């Protein structure tokens, strides 16, 4: 019997500067081929050398590149990555999704796998759990995120979840396959930042058991410029959540 595969999904847009720092961390976590894993980098219309730098690691890492020549946003990247893994993976596989900017560390895979093995379907590396470490994020941004989280929790309660927007998560592939059976391509309809919350809420609707572990968030290691308008995205997301509360998510 083929052992479960660990899929590492990386949505990437112009991350040439971060590949040399991030990919050696994968080599440390997966030092040999005894662990079945596959890195899938989604090229979201990169205009720099992100893809070329990633493919340089093919002799040492199991990596493939999918994506499009035109930048389509995080939602399209997440949708394509989930489709790819759901179609090529097995129900007992695991998919980790993480940012490609070196702010998330692959060494947390072990704790995330342990949480999934305890019977959960989704594990989130959370900023709001005891033991989390957040470096390089301004205090006002942390306060804004925490305040927004309280509103998210009030509007749409997901049991076991405090961090609705963090992009570092692990999913059982069987759960993603079940969610795609229900929603099809409508599993993710949001193009931008809201897609992470949309996916979480829809997985909650299909009965996902969720848990969080503390995150080690290292914005002080980030090499590329931030592409996110945190304040504007948070306000837009709150409007989305209120609309979903009033009119339904589907």
Read off the pLDDT of residues 164-182 as tens digits, 9 standing for 90 and up: 989 999 999 999 999 999 9
- Residue 21 CA, distance from chain mean position: 19
Return the residue matching tokens 């209120």. Answer: 242
In whole angstroms, give the CA distance from residue 79 to residue 175: 14
pLDDT band at 191 (very low <50, low <70, confident <90, very high): confident
Q: Phi/psi at 43 (nearest 5 deg)? A: -85, 105
Is the C-alpha dihedral spanning 98, 119, 186, 149 positive or negative?
negative
pTM, rounded to two decimals: 0.89
- Which residue from 84, 122, 144 is spatially nearest to 199, judged by alpha carbons? 122
Give the pLDDT of residue 135.
82
Look up residue 225 and give its DSSP letter. P
Residue 17 confidence (pLDDT): 94
User: What are the domain boundaries of the chain?
Assistant: 6-247
- Which CATH class for the 6-247 domain? alpha beta
Structure tokens at 104: 């998330």
Length of the chain counted residue by residue: 250
């Amino acid at each position: 019997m083929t052992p479960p595969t660990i899929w590492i999904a990386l949505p990437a847009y112009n991350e040439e500067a971060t590949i040399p720092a991030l990919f050696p961390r994968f080599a440390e976590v997966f030092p040999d081929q005894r662990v079945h894993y596959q890195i899938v980098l989604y090229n979201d219309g990169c205009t720099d050398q992100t893809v070329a730098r990633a493919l340089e690691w093919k002799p040492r890492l199991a990596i493939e590149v999918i994506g499009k020549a035109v930048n389509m946003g995080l939602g399209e990247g997440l949708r394509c990555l989930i489709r790819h893994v759901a179609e090529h993976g097995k129900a007992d596989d695991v998919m980790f999704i993480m940012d490609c900017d070196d702010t998330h560390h692959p060494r947390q895979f072990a704790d995330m796998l342990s949480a999934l093995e305890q019977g959960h379907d989704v594990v989130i590396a959370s900023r709001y759990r005891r033991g989390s470490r957040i470096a390089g994020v301004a205090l006002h941004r942390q306060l804004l995120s925490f305040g927004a989280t309280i509103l998210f929790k009030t509007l749409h309660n997901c049991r076991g979840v405090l961090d609705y927007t963090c992009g570092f998560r692990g999913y059982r592939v069987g759960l993603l396959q079940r969610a795609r059976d229900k929603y099809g391509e409508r599993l993710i309809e949001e193009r931008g930042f809201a897609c992470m919350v949309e996916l979480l809420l829809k997985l909650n609707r299909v009965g996902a058991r969720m848990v969080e572990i503390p995150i080690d968030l290292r914005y002080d290691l980030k090499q590329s410029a931030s592409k996110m308008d945190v304040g504007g995205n948070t306000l837009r997301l709150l409007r989305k959540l209120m609309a979903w509360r009033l009119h339904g998510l589907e």
